[in-house]
Amino acid sequence: MKTASEALAKPIGVLIADSGSMSRQLLVSAFRRHSGFRLFSCETDAEQILAVVAENHVDVMLIGSSNTNPSEAMAVIRRAHLSQPNIALVLVLENPDRDTVINTFRSGAQGLFCQSKHPFQLLCKCVQVVHEGQTWISGEHLRFLIDAVTQVPALRAVNSHGLHLLTPREEQVVALAAEGLANREIAQELRLSEHTVKKYLFRIFDKVGVSNRVELVLFAVNHAERRQAEWVPAVSR
């Protein structure tokens, strides 16, 4: 992961893709008033986006949908993510609903920015954050992801080959953490010590390749197989 100083050492290549020419021009003009960005632009079209990326160094893609159905923008994100997995993707919308939020991250985006609720300065911060390898999501939208993960009380995390990554106990810890329970509450629920819960979380982070609970929730949204709970008796404290 890049540090903030490394990320800002050279301009961040930002591709602004929006089918609305006015929206696209306004974003380009706004970014040009801030240092630290190298800008490219095109319509919200997968072929055009990949052509720009092929000819230029792009670090972050901002995908807008001014004149495009959000589901079509999602298809563009999926195509771009599969073709360029190392480029951070952010969907820029006016007021996304619950399903759009969930599908945005399922499609491979690292961020979702709501234009109607946040000033442009925060969009600059969003670009920097995802460029550093982190996730950009508001508390309201994170709640949608947590709700999606916790529709049932247990999750089975699998990799792309369908192999189970976690033990049944670790799956329970993931489900409870996704519900927003603190370590002490998880310990009480599973009748474990708080220290044991911390060890489980660090082990889970390592297994699935994340570094915090927000990233764990996003991983569960993208990789979890829903099932009924199978509570495992505590064997250590």
The answer, as to whether pTM is greater than 0.85, is no
Looking at the domain assignment, is residue 234 inside a domain?
no
Rounded mean pLDDT for each run of 10 residues along the chain, 237 residues in total: 53 92 90 92 91 95 79 84 91 85 87 87 94 90 78 56 77 79 84 92 89 80 55 47
Q: Helix, strand or coil for residue 27?
A: helix
Ramachandran region of residue 134, left (φ > 0), alpha (ψ -120 to 50) or beta? beta
Looking at the domain assignment, is residue 145 inside a domain?
no
**If 0-12 CB within 10 Å is exposed, 13-18 middle and 19+ buried, where does residue 129 land?**
buried
Q: Are 88 and 184 part of one and the same domain?
A: no
Q: Strand 224-227 relative to strand 154-157: parallel, antiparallel, unpaired?
A: antiparallel
Domain boundary among 138, 164, 181: 138
Q: Are 163 and 72 part of one and the same domain?
A: no
Q: Are 48 and 155 part of one and the same domain?
A: no
Q: Are 50 and 131 part of one and the same domain?
A: yes
Half-sphere exposure of 82 (CA within 13 A, CB side): 9
Looking at the domain assignment, is residue 143 inside a domain?
no
Looking at the domain assignment, is residue 108 inside a domain?
yes
Residue 217: CATH number of its domain? 1.10.10.10
Looking at the domain assignment, is residue 100 inside a domain?
yes
Q: Are 119 and 54 part of one and the same domain?
A: yes
Q: Are 173 and 133 part of one and the same domain?
A: no
Residue 114: CATH number of its domain? 3.40.50.2300
Looking at the domain assignment, is residue 36 inside a domain?
yes
pLDDT at 158: 61
Closest-CA residue to 88 (of 128, 115, 118, 51): 128
Domain boundary among 91, 115, 138: 138
Q: Are 117 and 15 part of one and the same domain?
A: yes
Q: Are 183 and 125 part of one and the same domain?
A: no
Partners of 17 in beta bridges? 42, 63
Q: Are 69 and 92 part of one and the same domain?
A: yes
Distance, in Å, from the CA atom of 142 to the CA atom of 102, rounded to the nearest integer, reads: 9
pLDDT at 162: 63
Looking at the domain assignment, is residue 106 inside a domain?
yes
Domain total in the chain: 2
Q: Are 43 and 101 part of one and the same domain?
A: yes
Residues spanned by the domain of 169? 150-227
pLDDT at 129: 94
Looking at the domain assignment, is residue 159 inside a domain?
yes
Distance, in Å, from the CA atom of 106 to the CA atom of 98, rounded to the nearest integer, reads: 13
pLDDT at 189: 80
Q: Are 37 and 134 part of one and the same domain?
A: yes
Q: Are 127 and 55 part of one and the same domain?
A: yes
Q: Strand 60-64 relative to strand 12-17: parallel, antiparallel, unpaired?
A: parallel
Q: Calculate ∠ Cα 143-105-115, nearest 5°.
A: 75
Query: DSSP assignment of 191-207, as one string?
Result: T--HHHHHHHHHHHHHH
Positive or negative, the Cα torsion across 29, 101, 43, 94?
Answer: negative
Using CA atoms, how far residue 93 sits from 9, 170, 202, in Å, is 29, 35, 34
Domain boundary among 106, 138, 170: 138
Please, are residues 227 and 156 in contact by the beta-carbon 8 Å criterion? yes
Distance, in Å, from the CA atom of 108 to the CA atom of 102, rounded to the nearest integer, reads: 11
